[in-house]
């Protein structure tokens, strides 16, 4: 349903007007957010991501309509919601979806982005329970496949000159999961990642390039399946905070990139010729990172 129509129905309902009910599948719930800018105007084209809290799986993703509305129909559970718009402060929240509940729109006001304090120089270690490495691939001729890597390690070495800082991420390729055992086994096989020969996927940055506001481009090299290629991660820096296991200093960022399978000798055309149709030629990669400033008091994250 177009969100503009939803907006009119919701406003009509608030005035007591009669109208057709919004169809919601049995057992599902609805989250609706009306996003407004700092001067109380609808914020269209804001990026919204809804993530399951337990699995870190992306449950819904989209942009607000011209009236500032975003809606998603979700199974019951606990979720986090992230709203990002250029030049404005990111908005994060957690919420619960209850079965068989209709739309109850809530307003979100985005504030002008303050000059975020950059992380202090030193070593920052990824916190795996609060970090997710996800991907989305187009299933050939069908819907999207959502997946993630469950085992990884990494960190950030912040230099006095931020452009000279470095990031390294090592991913256990065998930890790939898409929620389907048959498909996951196939993705680990020699047809795809070939984890017996290439057990790790490594990213090493070469440069941070500032793009204004909270935006950075993280340039580096991704080594996968025995091949290294240059990649650029479109990165939104989310700031620093004291909090966590021992109120330690943390920083957070969200980085995205599009990968092409053929760049890493994963030839999808030859697989199609052999009747193997699993995922398409491009993959959207997303790193949702929290890192802890390393000191002698930094706690060890729980397993």
- The CATH architecture one would assign to domain 122-293 is Beta Barrel (2.40)
Domain spanning 3-15+23-109 has what CATH number?
2.60.40.10
Q: What percent of the chain has pLDDT over 90?
A: 57
The maximal CA–CA distance of the chain, rounded, in angstroms, is 64
- Whole-number Å distance between alpha carbons of 176 and 147: 7
Domain residue extents for the chain? 3-15+23-109, 122-293
Residues in Cβ contact with 181 at an 8 Å cutoff, skipping those fewer than 6 apart: none
Running DSSP on this structure, what letter comes out for residue 6?
H
145 in Cβ contact with 279 (< 8 Å)? yes
**pLDDT at 5 (0 to 100):** 45
Strands 152-158 and 166-172, sheet pairing: antiparallel
Phi, psi of 300 (to 5 degrees): -85, 125
**pLDDT at 290 (0 to 100):** 95
- pTM listed for this prediction: 0.64
Phi, psi of 139 (to 5 degrees): -70, 130
pLDDT by 10-residue block (mean), the chain, 303 residues:
46 42 83 92 95 92 96 96 89 94 89 82 94 84 82 96 94 94 88 92 94 87 92 93 78 92 60 51 90 75 51
- Whole-number Å distance between alpha carbons of 193 and 225: 6
- Whole-number Å distance between alpha carbons of 99 and 93: 20
**pLDDT at 159 (0 to 100):** 95
**pLDDT at 273 (0 to 100):** 47
46 in Cβ contact with 85 (< 8 Å)? yes
**pLDDT at 80 (0 to 100):** 96
């Amino acid at each position: 349903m177009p969100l503009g129509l939803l907006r009119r129905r919701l406003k009509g309902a608030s005035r007591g007007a009669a109208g057709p009910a919004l169809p919601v599948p049995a057992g599902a719930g609805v989250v609706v957010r009306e996003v407004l800018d700092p001067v109380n105007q609808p914020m269209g084209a804001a990026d919204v991501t809804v993530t399951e809290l337990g699995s870190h799986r992306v449950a819904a993703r989209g942009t607000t309509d011209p009236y500032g509305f975003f809606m998603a129909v979700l199974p019951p559970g606990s979720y986090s919601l992230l709203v990002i718009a250029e030049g404005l402060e990111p908005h994060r929240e957690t919420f619960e979806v209850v079965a068989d509940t209709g739309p109850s729109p809530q307003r979100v006001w985005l504030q002008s982005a303050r000059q975020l304090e950059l992380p202090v120089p030193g070593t920052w270690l990824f916190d795996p329970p609060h970090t997710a490495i996800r991907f989305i691939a187009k299933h050939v001729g069908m819907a999207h496949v959502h997946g993630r890597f469950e085992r990884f390690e990494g960190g950030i070495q912040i230099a006095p000159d931020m452009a000279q800082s470095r990031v390294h991420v090592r991913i256990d390729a065998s930890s790939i999961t898409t929620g389907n055992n048959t498909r996951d086994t196939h993705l680990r096989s020699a047809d795809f990642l070939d984890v017996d020969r290439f057990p790790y996927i490594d990213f090493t940055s070469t440069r941070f390039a500032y793009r204004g506001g909270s935006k950075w481009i993280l340039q580096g090299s991704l080594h996968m399946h025995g091949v290294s290629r240059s990649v650029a991660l479109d990165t939104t820096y989310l700031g620093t905070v004291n909090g966590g296991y021992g109120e330690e200093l943390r920083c957070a960022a969200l980085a995205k990139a599009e990968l092409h399978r053929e760049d890493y000798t994963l030839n999808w055309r030859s697989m199609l010729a052999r009747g193997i149709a699993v995922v398409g030629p491009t993959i959207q990669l997303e790193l949702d990172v929290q890192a802890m400033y390393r000191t002698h008091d930094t706690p060890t994250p729980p397993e």
